[in-house]
Amino acid sequence: MEANALAPFAAAAAAELERTIPLVDALLALARPLTVPVDLSVALRPLVVLYRAIAVAAGGTLDMAQDAEHMFVQADGDTVRALLSEALDVTIGTNLEVSGKLGDSDGFISLRMIGGAGRPIAARMERFAAEQDVRITSDEDETALLFPARMRAGVDSNT
């Protein structure tokens, strides 16, 4: 077999590898614990990679913007990941075009995703969020999460 006959197969394999590497990196990031304090933007990044792949495979999009490079919250890593995953899963479920924004909102770090809810938030996740002092809401237009922001010593608190 001649080398030029293999070129299209090699190109296809390289393209598939390029598409797969970010997904593997995201899965590896999710296998590692988050550092304390939890930076919501760091926690969200691998989840967006995975959920974007789901949206793109269905012919849609997932775009995410954020107000600042770091956004620290008071919740622990497992809580953050569970609630971010629920919010993304609710929103990406049936909606193909979703845009989101991570930002600071009056002592809270908010994640707001426009695109509506494909399904209701699971009751156990609503209870879990309430136990953690996190607000989670969803309707046909928007899914929102509000995490209490972590106060910075000497800047936001009396320490």
Q: How confident is the model at residue 58 (pLDDT cuts 50, 70, 90)?
A: confident
With b meaning 16 or more CB within 10 Å and e meaning fewer, what string describes 114-133? Answer: bbbbbeebeeebbebbeebe
Please state at what angle helix 40-57 crosses helix 3-31, rounded to 10 degrees. 140
Q: Single out the residue of 31, 30, 36, 152 nearest to residue 84, CA to CA.
A: 30
pLDDT tens digits, one per residue of 89-122:
988 865 578 999 999 988 999 999 998 667 889 9
Q: Single out the residue of 99, 84, 83, 143 nearest to residue 119, CA to CA.
A: 143
- What's the CA gap between 24 and 106, in Å, rounded? 36
- What's the CA gap between 122 and 95, in Å, rounded? 18
pLDDT tens digits, one per residue of 12-53:
888 888 888 999 999 999 999 999 999 999 999 999 999 999
Domain ranges of the chain: 33-148
Domain 33-148 - what CATH class? alpha beta
Residue-level pLDDT at 157: 38
